[in-house]
Amino acid sequence: MKILLIEDEEKAVKFLKKGLNEHNIDVDFALDGSAGVELAMTNEYDVIISDIIVPGMNGFDLTRHLRMHGIKAPVILLTALNATDDKVLGLEVGADDYLTKPYEFKELLARLKALSRRGKETPPPKLILTFGDTEMNLTGKECTRQGKKIELTPKEFALMEYFIRNQGRVVSKVEIAEKVWDINFETSSNVVEVYVNYLRNKIDKPFEKKIIHTVFGVGYVLKDE
Amino acid sequence: MKILLIEDEEKAVKFLKKGLNEHNIDVDFALDGSAGVELAMTNEYDVIISDIIVPGMNGFDLTRHLRMHGIKAPVILLTALNATDDKVLGLEVGADDYLTKPYEFKELLARLKALSRRGKETPPPKLILTFGDTEMNLTGKECTRQGKKIELTPKEFALMEYFIRNQGRVVSKVEIAEKVWDINFETSSNVVEVYVNYLRNKIDKPFEKKIIHTVFGVGYVLKDE
DNA sequence: TTAAGACCTTAGAAATTTCTTAGAAATGGC
DNA sequence: GCCATTTCTAAGAAATTTCTAAGGTCTTAA
């Protein structure tokens, strides 16, 4: 998340910037109104926080200005005043929220999150991993090759996912045992071999080109040829 | 503009309704939480205002509940308290604003306008969900497939609604237990399986194609094939 | 060339997960 | 309070996956 902070008290800026950064929020700031507008019009922010009283342009005018120019980023106004009339004016001008100083940092953070959330109500994107003509849809737990659906059991799916995430790199059996099976000790089991075999039957056998290759003495690798 | 007011003090309801009507705002109201949820789920409101302390269900749970069911109308919470923690909690559950009693009517009005303005920029929540030849009317709590009505009990309906809202995505049983049953702890119960079975008997069995699929070891998906 | 180790394949036993059913418990309307 | 409906529990059946084990094949290096 990236926000714009318009505030003329440098101490406040510093404090907020530090606090917000700790929560993984990027902060651009401007020390006066016009600089703020300038930044707001040339960058995309998730939220804009502005003190009501800043040099150059007050928070109301600033908000009105932004709205007139089609900038829809949510605006939070900060003020030392507690007059209802100011709040009303702020909201009417197009601000989205209002915080009275002294405010608690926690509250500011919560409001930030609430506001930024509203812009992004799109469902999470489909997670899809691919290698050549092979595709894995992690959202739907589906695997296809050349458009044909391939039914995989959970372990097979996990193994294939590990291969596809490490395509082109040779992965050892020990590594696979650790990452896919959570086996950390030396073991004489041959599960990995068995499952590689299962996978090959489904992923390679029915097709022209094989993509799961054995590197003798080292491990396996997912690649063309 | 049409709003829903959830508030148990009849005097307050009367006062607000009158005042808001004068500003051309239609007001539906509920005297307790469950009635409020019921109304919210079956009507379209521009804004929902709820007291935090109402019989049946508190404002936080109410908000969480609404959000869980995909109702995105802005929510304003009212309270006599002034604790920051409550505000934070309110915003975190998905409320959009917060007013501390006693508030001025003017301020409430301004916030209403601010919130409803922003709501207009996003499409209204869908009251009819579809998947292929299956349709769910949330308003009338009706479900049909190929035009044929399918009688569902409330829990069955909730489960089907969850499936249809997450069509194409594999949802785990734990996730279903959390979202549809509000069970947050580890449980050995098999309610989810039982209800999936009930649903299949009604949704899949009487028809050619099944749409509820088991993904062994992972969960269930709503999809074709 | 040949032996040893690495890898592949297969079948079936074991373990796990899911389905199904019946009935008990809870809920809601009259 | 009673009846009808809905919800949940429990337990065995069924289905599927996972793993083991044993024997076969391939690769490498002496």
The answer, yes or no, to whether residue B50 has pLDDT greater than 90, is: no
* Residue A209 vs residues A5, A158, A194, B50: alpha-carbon distances, Å: 56, 22, 21, 63
The answer, yes or no, to whether residue B164 has pLDDT greater than 90, is: yes
Q: What is the average pLDDT across B53-68? A: 77
Q: For residues A15 and A17, what is the distance between their CA atoms, to the nearest angstrom? A: 6
Q: For residues B57 and B34, what is the distance between their CA atoms, to the nearest angstrom? A: 6
> Which has the higher per-residue pLDDT, B179 or A87?
B179
> Can you give the pLDDT at residue B124?
42
Contact between the CB of A202 and strand D at under 7 Å: no
Q: What is the average pLDDT across B78-100? A: 68
> Can you give the pLDDT at residue B163?
94
Judge residue A2's burial from the number of C-beta atoms within 10 Å of its C-beta, 0-12 exposed, 13-18 middle, 19 or more buried: middle
> Which has the higher per-residue pLDDT, B124 or B66?
B66
Residue ranges of the alpha helices (H) in B49-93? 59-68, 84-93
Band of the pLDDT at A202, cuts 50, 70, 90?
very high
Mean pLDDT value across chain B: 81
The answer, yes or no, to whether residue B119 has pLDDT greater than 70, is: no
> Which has the higher per-residue pLDDT, A178 or A99?
A178
> Can you give the pLDDT at residue A213?
92
Contact between the CB of B218 and strand D at under 7 Å: no
Contact between the CB of B190 and strand C at under 7 Å: yes
Q: Does A153 touch chain B (CB under 8 A)?
A: yes
pLDDT digits (tens, 9 = 90+) for A134-192: 999 988 899 999 989 999 999 999 999 999 999 889 999 888 998 898 776 666 788 99
C-beta within 7 A of nucleic chain D, residues 153-172 of A: 153-156
Quick check: B118 and A95 CB within 8 A? no
Overall pTM surpassing 0.85 (yes/no): no
Q: For residues A180 and A158, what is the distance between their CA atoms, to the nearest angstrom? A: 6
Percent of chain A with pLDDT strictly greater than 90: 25
> Can you give the pLDDT at residue B142?
83
Which of A110-114, A124-128, B47-51 has the highest mean predicted lDDT (pLDDT)? Answer: B47-51
DSSP secondary structure letter of residue A209: S
Nearest to A142 by CA among A127, A131, A132: A127
Q: Does A148 touch chain B (CB under 8 A)?
A: no
Quick check: A153 and B216 CB within 8 A? yes
Residue with tokens 């509820």: B212
- Least confident stretch, A70-79, A106-115, A126-135, B46-55: A106-115
Residue with tokens 């009635």: B35
> Can you give the pLDDT at residue A90?
59
Those nucleotides of strand D lying less than 7 Å from any protein Cβ are 5-11, 16-22, 27-28
Q: For residues A218 and A173, what is the distance between their CA atoms, to the nearest angstrom? A: 8
> Can you give the pLDDT at residue A84?
56
- Tell me the chain B residues in contact with residue A121 when contact means C-beta distances shorter than 8 Å: 72, 122
Q: What is the average pLDDT across A201-206? A: 92
Judge residue B34's burial from the number of C-beta atoms within 10 Å of its C-beta, 0-12 exposed, 13-18 middle, 19 or more buried: middle
Q: Gap from A217 CA to D8 C1', in Å?
A: 55
Band of the pLDDT at B90, cuts 50, 70, 90?
low
pLDDT digits (tens, 9 = 90+) for B182-194: 776 566 789 999 9
pLDDT digits (tens, 9 = 90+) for B66-88: 777 767 788 888 876 565 666 66
The answer, yes or no, to whether residue A211 has pLDDT greater than 90, is: yes
Q: For residues A137 and A141, what is the distance between their CA atoms, to the nearest angstrom? A: 6
